[in-house]
């Protein structure tokens, strides 16, 4: 019985360790990415001009994100109302989801385009490693 408990404990530890593995494991050999902080762009070594422009882009991104989340909350209420009805309207539900996804996609593309235009080739390559951080969810 004790052997079974020990085996279970070891299996749990191994499984749990995999859950907490470095999510940037494809960069594990590259010191530059080991201590990356979410949405921190210091690793890009931006010039003063780039930094100034990026601050403006990020301020606008923040404003757009706030508007998006307000829009999303409104649409989520509509989805809730659809679920509460006697009959489920698949088409309307799908249209509302599409609206949310479309708006999110537009904001993401618009802001990534601005950031992309600001960066040089080396910076673009580095930025690409953390692209997922810039998704609106």
- Expressed in angstroms, the distance from the first to the final Cα of the chain is 46
pLDDT at 45: 85
Q: Which two tokens stand for residue 12?
A: 């749990």
pLDDT tens, residue order, the chain (137 aa): 555 555 454 545 555 544 444 444 444 445 544 443 445 677 788 899 998 998 899 899 889 989 999 999 999 999 999 999 999 999 999 999 999 999 999 998 999 899 999 999 998 888 887 777 666 66
**pTM (global) more than 0.85:** no
Domains and CATH numbers, the chain: 38-134 (1.20.120)
The angle, 0 to 180 degrees and rounded to 10, between the axes of the packed helices 48-84 and 90-118 is: 180
Q: Using alpha carbons only, give the angle 100, 70, 72 rounded to the nearest 5 degrees.
A: 20
From CA 21, how far away is CA 25, in angstroms rounded? 8
């Amino acid at each position: 019985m004790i052997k079974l408990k020990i085996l279970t404990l070891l299996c749990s530890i191994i499984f749990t360790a995999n859950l907490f593995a470095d999510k940037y494991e494809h960069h594990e050999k590259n010191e530059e990415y080991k201590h990356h902080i979410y949405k921190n762009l210091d690793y890009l070594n931006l010039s003063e001009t780039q930094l100034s422009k990026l601050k403006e882009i990020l301020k606008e991104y923040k404003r757009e994100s706030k508007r998006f989340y307000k829009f999303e909350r409104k649409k989520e209420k509509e989805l809730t109302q659809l679920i509460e009805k006697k009959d489920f309207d698949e088409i309307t539900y799908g249209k509302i989801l599409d609206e949310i996804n479309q708006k999110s996609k537009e904001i993401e593309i618009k802001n990534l385009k601005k950031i992309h235009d600001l960066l040089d080739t080396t910076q673009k390559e580095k930025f690409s490693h953390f692209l997922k951080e810039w998704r609106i969810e």
